[in-house]
Amino acid sequence: MMMLIKLFLLVSLFTFCQGKKINTWEEEYPFIKNASSFSSNFKVLVLERGGVPYGNKNTSLKNFHINLADTSPNSPAQLFVVEGVFNVRPRILGGGSSINGGFYSRPSLRSLMELGLDPKLAYKSYPWIEKQIVQWPVLNPWQRAVKNALLQAGITPDNGYTFEHLSGTKISGTIFDKDGIRHSAAELLKSANPKNLDVLIHARAQKIVFDQSSGKPRAVGVIFKDEKGEQHEAVLSNKKKSEVILSSGAIGSPQLLLLSGIGPKAELEQMNISVVLNNQFVGKGMADNTQNNIIVPFNRPVEQSQVQIVGITREGIYIEANSGFGQSPSSIHYTHDNSTSGEEQNEELPHEAYNAGGLLFKVSNPLSTGELSLNNTNADDIPNISFNYFSNPQDLQTCVNGYHILEKLVKTNYLTQFMQPGNDTFQKLLKYTVNENINLIPKTADVTKSLEQYCRQTVITFWHYHGGCHKGKVISSKYEVLGAHGLRVIDGSTFVKAPGTNPQATVLMLGRYMGIKILRKRLGKAAGV
């Protein structure tokens, strides 16, 4: 069925979220409906491939790992494996902001310039996000100890509480409140005009439809499937300002372009996809920021925490910490819920039980890159992805340098006070961590013999993968797809480097930033922003 959309179509498989439990979320967000309710009365339409997080306790801080460990078909976190490393793609309203570790930190001015953004407008856009969903954390004893250890190890100065990207040690923002409730991107929907917005959940975009009758191909709509498997076509109005915006993330956006006929000609023809635009760069330049770490088993109970502090080194190593979260399913325990009656009385509820902390570090700007390509034409499947972890020797050396910093940290009196007897030296902690870091990479008997080998065999991810739709190759400086009309990509797939210690702040800011840009272009001073 052909449907008319009055202004423009926004396709999003990786955007908004609401972590706060609301019994009547339908009343607070009346514009969020199942995809099967699709009708023609739309001005702005958001297509979300997942469901809503309302009432889902796994979006809270305490169930962070439980959420990621859910491998059911409708899980908010769709599991995939690249080169032996477990990763996830969000599948829920809110995307990454509803399943991530919640850390919020702006990038440097240099990073904004490298992204080709106007710093003045960027710095105006960040506070719009921060005032609505970002909190200052209250450090638990482990986070406080790691902060002091970083300073003692020479990661100075102490920059206190700040969102800014500054060399040294700082406390930054979080989207978890003091009760562990997540406040993520969906809460920004409260600022929208509900009369102009419709959000369809369980709406799985299949391809973009183009008019190729004259000149450049123009995006005129999107084909999607609803929760019942029925197919629909959302069609733009014939106004020149109508457009499709992909915000599907570093996996979804290049994948959807390829499925729609934009990409390397030979690859598209191999999949029997009609070529709309031959662009060899779609899906290229994929990168993932590696996480390597040390797990410290505690000699005392310490409350759970996700990343709250960060040590920023000048050589591009970012050190963070968490506590109370394991990677193995063995850290998830079950208890009976006796608080209800009837059939639900004996329900087994999962909870995390892991008495240890992590010292994590990130290689900030990996030179090792890979690519994304289709393995079939099913938009629900994860495509072929490579990141080529540590294929560039410089990345491997940066990882080794990161472990040298961790060695300094675990020798400080701030951290030794937490350590169990028998797991209280750097070498012993390395050996302990081998069994705690879960990946599918084969381990040699002498895995701790060299740090280079240790980096390769124990690597995991920060879930900061990016690339596939780079500026100047796939999109223009205005985020418009090169060679096409009425189509933009606005998300982390456009990043050559993941900005800042954690890209969440900039991904959210970019939505506000480009919204202002588009409104100013269309309405001028009447835009009011």
Per-residue pLDDT of 329-353, as tens digits, reads 666 555 544 444 444 444 566 666 6
Indicate whether 199 pLDDT > 90: yes
DSSP designation for 475:
B
Distance CA 321, CA 298 (A): 14
Q: How far apart are the first and last CA of the chain?
A: 37
Do the domain assignments include residue 127? no
467, 473 contact by CB (below 8 A) = no
Weakest-pLDDT range from 51-55, 60-64, 272-276, 286-290 = 51-55
- Of 456, 429, 423, 460, the residue nearest 442 (C-alpha): 456
Predicted model pTM: 0.92
pLDDT at 313: 98
* Residue 209 domain boundaries: 2-104+183-284+466-527
- 464 assigned to active site: yes
The predicted-structure confidence for 126-182, as pLDDT tens digits, reads as follows: 999 999 999 999 999 999 999 999 999 999 999 999 999 999 999 999 999 999 999
| Whole-angstrom distance, CA of residue 479 vs CA of residue 510 | 11
User: By C-alpha distance, which of 476, 453, 45, 22 is closest to 243?
Assistant: 45
Confidence of residue 288 (pLDDT cuts 50, 70, 90): very high
Q: What is the mean pLDDT of residues 250-273?
A: 99
* Pairing status of strand 356-363 against strand 317-323: antiparallel
- 245 is a domain residue: yes
**Lowest-confidence pick of 24-38, 81-95, 131-145:** 24-38
Which of the pair, 74 or 104, is modelled with greater confidence?
A: 104
Q: In this structure, what is the dihedral angle of CA atoms 427, 432, 435, 438, given to the nearest 10 degrees?
A: -80
> Do 228 and 359 fall within a single domain?
no
Verify that 444 and 480 share a domain, yes or no: no
Are residues 347 and 470 both part of a single domain?
no
Check pLDDT > 90 for residue 380: yes
Please check the confidence at residue 3 and state whether its pLDDT lies above 50. Answer: no
pLDDT confidence tier of residue 528, bands split at 50, 70 and 90: confident
What does the pLDDT average to over 258-267? Answer: 99
447-487 per-position pLDDT tens digit: 999 999 999 999 999 999 999 999 999 999 999 999 999 99
Do residues 433 and 335 share a domain?
yes
CATH of the domain at 64: 3.50.50.60
Whether residue 118 is contained in a domain is answered as no
What was the pLDDT predicted at 351?
Answer: 64
Could you tell me if 349 and 403 lie in one domain? yes
- Report which residue type is found at 317: I
Give me the number of domains the chain comprises.
2
Residue 261 DSSP class: T
Centroid of chain to Cα 25? 24
Same domain, 426 and 510: no
Residue 268 token pair: 């598209």
Residue 56 inside a domain? The answer is yes
Q: Are residues 221 and 266 in the same domain?
A: yes
| pLDDT higher than threshold 60 for residue 238 | yes
**How high is the pLDDT of residue 349?**
60
Write down the catalytic residue from 165, 183, 232, 464.
Answer: 464
* 314 within a domain of the structure (yes/no): yes
CB atoms within 10 A of CB 240: 9
Q: Which residues carry a binding-site annotation for FAD?
A: 463-464, 492, 503-504
Q: Which residues contact 143 (CB under 8 A, 6 or more apart)?
A: 137, 305, 308, 309, 321, 323
Residues of the chain with pLDDT > 90, as a percent, come to 76
Q: Report the distance separating Cα 13 and Cα 32, nearest Å.
A: 14
From 436, 103, 501, select the one nearest 293 (Cα to Cα): 436
Residue 107 above 60 pLDDT? yes
Q: Quote the pLDDT of residue 345.
A: 44
Dihedral sign for Cα atoms in the order 45, 49, 55, 58: negative
Average pLDDT, the chain: 90
Q: Is residue 121 part of a domain?
A: no
> Using CA of residue 41, residue 44, residue 45, residue 50, what is the dihedral sign?
negative
Q: Which of 429, 458, 487 is the last residue of a domain?
A: 458
At 328 the pLDDT is 64
Shared domain for 518 and 406, answered yes or no, is no
